[in-house]
Amino acid sequence: MTVPPLQDLPVDDPVALTRALVDIPSVSGAERDLADAVEALLRAQPHLEVRRDGDAVLARTSLGRAERVVVAGHLDTVPVARNLPSWTAAPGEGDDPAGGEVLWGRGTTDMKGGVAMALFAACTVPEPVRDVTYVFYDCEEVESARNGLGRLARTAPDWLAADLAVLGEPTEGLVEGGCQGTLRVDVTLRGRAAHSARAWRGVNAVHAAHEVLARLAAYTPREPEVDGLRYHEGLQAVGIRGGIAGNVVPDTCVVELNHRFAPDRSPAEALDHVREVLAGLDVGLALTDEAAGARPGLDRPAARAFVEAVAPVTGQPPRAKLGWTDVARFAALGVPALNFGPGDPQLAHADDERVPVRQLTQCADALVRWLRG
């Protein structure tokens, strides 16, 4: 299928917008083509002031409203896995519980459906009851140092100032408050190298890793309640490396850990917890990446107003966000933030990524209803 440029699509169709976004590949670090298309679409809207920052695109209204909100989404995806271009399953042929059409392809869930929701609102609500800043940014799916929203916090902080931020991460059309924090830690075990034919002269560092793995296998995660929402933590080995040749006893082994922690702990407290889990083992720990979580903040007036406005779509109370999202970056700036978008978060990054078409329409309509008051 040949997809027309975004600026040539009917802007009143969030499904068509989603499919056009999906069919422009934008793996992290290669978002330029999609950013160009988004910029062109937004510059065609006379009610918006537009700014480009690298491969991030920002747009805002300036109507002098009493309240300003941010609607944000990332443009990048994880690598393509034979799941582009997009395709649809007809009603009854997909896995939509309601029996509707399902759109398949990389980014349908994480998070081009959410980006389309925001673009739909940007193009169809020229006079919102709240001033709106739309933020579309790059490199969310890679290490936090490259995150485009983090860069914007340094280069354009005034564009991120707001009373509330809504991040279009996949939530199945529900409101998800806050997010978990995340750590990556390298756990290093030391041994002594030797020829594998005389292994008794060495100490195998890879074999010693079983002690670390046993602790992780027996680990019971916390499920704390934070501001009325229940989080479920995790501590997992996500990689292991060691050895230099097939005939050498390895003298070093590194087990990479990922810890997802509830927002009642800081990254420093979470790292202390990892140390407690591995206490007594002869290992070295090196923190390689961290990002703080965010408390739900649903007691703030702007957040309560959003929850009430989208209630006809959600039909359920807010729930905790199990995973890290950039609501944490807004929280660090003093802006309460929440997650709301189409798609099942459990399908994010999956090769069979897909989204019910009805969720694309429902979420876009709900966001528009809130902005129109």
Of these residues, 138, 140, 169, 344, which one is catalytic? 140
Sheet containing strand 102-104, edge to edge, reads 87-89, 102-104, 354-356
Catalytic residue check, 289: no
Rounded alpha-carbon distances, angstroms, from residue 276 to 18, 184, 253? 45, 16, 20
CA 286 to chain CA mean position, Å: 25
Question: Token digits for 153?
Answer: 């916090």
Of these residues, 31, 39, 76, 344, which one is catalytic? 76
Question: Token digits for 60?
Answer: 């805002």
Q: What is residue 264's DSSP assignment?
A: T
d(CA 368, CA 128): 9
DSSP-H helix ranges across the chain: 14-22, 32-43, 113-124, 148-155, 157-160, 205-217, 267-277, 301-314, 327-332, 357-372
Catalytic residue check, 140: yes
- Closest listed residue to residue 351, CA positions, set 97, 1, 110, 141: 110
Is residue 299 within 8 Å of residue 227, measured between CB atoms? yes
Beta strand pairing status for 337-339 and 248-249?
unpaired
- Closest listed residue to residue 296, CA positions, set 177, 163, 166, 180: 177
Is residue 152 within 8 Å of residue 50, measured between CB atoms? no
Residues annotated as catalytic are: 76, 140
